Chain A
């Protein structure tokens, strides 16, 4: 049980970077970008193919980020210069990327199992002591079978937080403020001499760069890139954003971005727990995801409605009491 929860946290934090990318388009720019399903694979594919052909893993990951950025910029161009509806430009780019990804990878799956990756490199410098220390701790509180390695979780927490803080900083810069205003009030920021077209292109580009980075890291952790691995990514990203907002709020940018990371982890935990229910099978995962998103969207409103109702009832009761006293 504890081990599968550990696995849930691990995959949650891995996908958190992708979710931060989705947050940038979906919430900050108010641009429902479906490119994600394609650009995720683009990131994984570019990284995998580069590594196989001998590029150092760090450089391969940077190539993946650039490829994702370009894919996002094209979606942005379709929307702003081509005046194509936001949803549609994302969908068009997503299906176009399916073919492009096949071309990049040249076959449906590229294996990295015998290659040097970021993680195999890290394993080389990772002191064994940390693993055994944490596993002793794990065993001493009686959590059952201990995880094989803590490298992935540790490294991904560092990367996810680094991306989070970079995003926080960027969204407070002059360009970042204009980007947020583009999602909030286009007319206003145009009258303050900002080129909203370029900001949208930049924003969607950065978002997909993050998604591609996530894809590149996952390919290196999993040891392969597959042309199908992006299916449903956008929904997982949305689920993370929405769950995070519902649970942790969105008062400031810093809170909203940490909430997205939290949401990504909670999403995985809920899915893991749901799959332990006997009646549900692995194939029900997408249904569970849809259900979680619906609950996260509806529950806060229902709760608030009930709170309001309760508040009014209290006020009325107080008024009745006051009258009786008089």
Chain B
């Protein structure tokens, strides 16, 4: 479903700030794969996300989604295949517009926008059904401006907007990192449910190792622009944080420097 082929990208090439953000990354996701991505700051996780979403263009390599080479497609065209939830709860919704209007915009992600009303009676009923699955009472607040919602509610709405049109790929970019523990747990649970329900092919970046272990059928660890660990299937189910840290030390031969990763 998603194939990242030999992708490399270097920032600020030829200057003292040169950074090889991704070095010959190869990653293939089968339909229905749910892959969690961990790694310390600067490992290249976000760069990988941005290359898949079309925010960045790789120096070399290809991105193939649903058998289509999308490497040179700009972000807004590629979005037809991709549902995305950002880390910042403010990023995924339009604050001065209402809940139903936001959902209507997400509805148009896979269609050409036209001059018919975005919110119709029929769609309203559909939005309500979808909002009910969140269990946050948002189905009764269709006309509320999204700017009035809490961070957790907004992130739940973003998740719904990214998924209810069944994208080929779902990208989750540390989407629970900015929330308090109870809200984060709620969003994690919603993520699990929605991915299972639609069988979405998902790539999730996280700083939280426990979350990376709990979710998904495959885990990859990145460091210095490379994928250094790729665990799937049964082995992934039995994995512990301890194992991960040991693996990392064995491969890199150094202490896992990120306190944040350990504490997560």
User: Which residue numbers of A lie inside 8 Å of B, CB to CB?
Assistant: 169-170, 172-178, 180-181, 184-185, 187-196
Contacts and interface: CB of A to CB of B under 8 A. Distances in A.
A170 B115 CA distance: 7
Contacts of A172: 117-119
B80 interface: yes
B97 A191 contact: no
A173 B115 contact: yes
A322 B86 CA distance: 48
B104 A191 contact: no
A181 B104 CA distance: 11
Q: Name the residue in A174, A181, A193 with the highest tally of chain B Cβ atoms < 10 Å from its Cβ.
A: A193
Nearest to B112: A174
A173 B109 contact: no
A181 B107 CA distance: 14
Contact of A178 (B53, B86, B108): B108
Interface of B: 53, 75-80, 82, 84, 86, 90-97, 101, 104-106, 108-111, 113-119, 161
A188 B86 CA distance: 9
A325 B114 CA distance: 65
Contacts of B75: 190-191
A190 B79 contact: yes
A310 B119 CA distance: 41
Contact of A181 (B53, B79, B91, B105): B105
B110 A177 contact: no
Contacts of A170: 115
A185 B93 contact: yes
Nearest to A27: B96
Contacts of B106: 192
A178 B97 CA distance: 11
A174 B111 CA distance: 10
Q: Name the residue in A175, A176, A177 with the highest tally of chain B Cβ atoms < 10 Å from its Cβ.
A: A177
Contacts of B110: 193
B92 to A, nearest CB: 6
Contacts of A184: 94-97
B94 A174 contact: no
A80 to B, nearest CB: 12
Contact of A194 (B76, B95, B101, B115): B76
15 contacts: A170-B115, A174-B108, A174-B117, A180-B97, A181-B105, A188-B91, A190-B76, A190-B79, A191-B82, A193-B76, A193-B109, A194-B76, A194-B108, A195-B76, A196-B76
Given A192-B108, A193-B77, A195-B76, A174 B118 contact: yes
A5 to B, nearest CB: 35
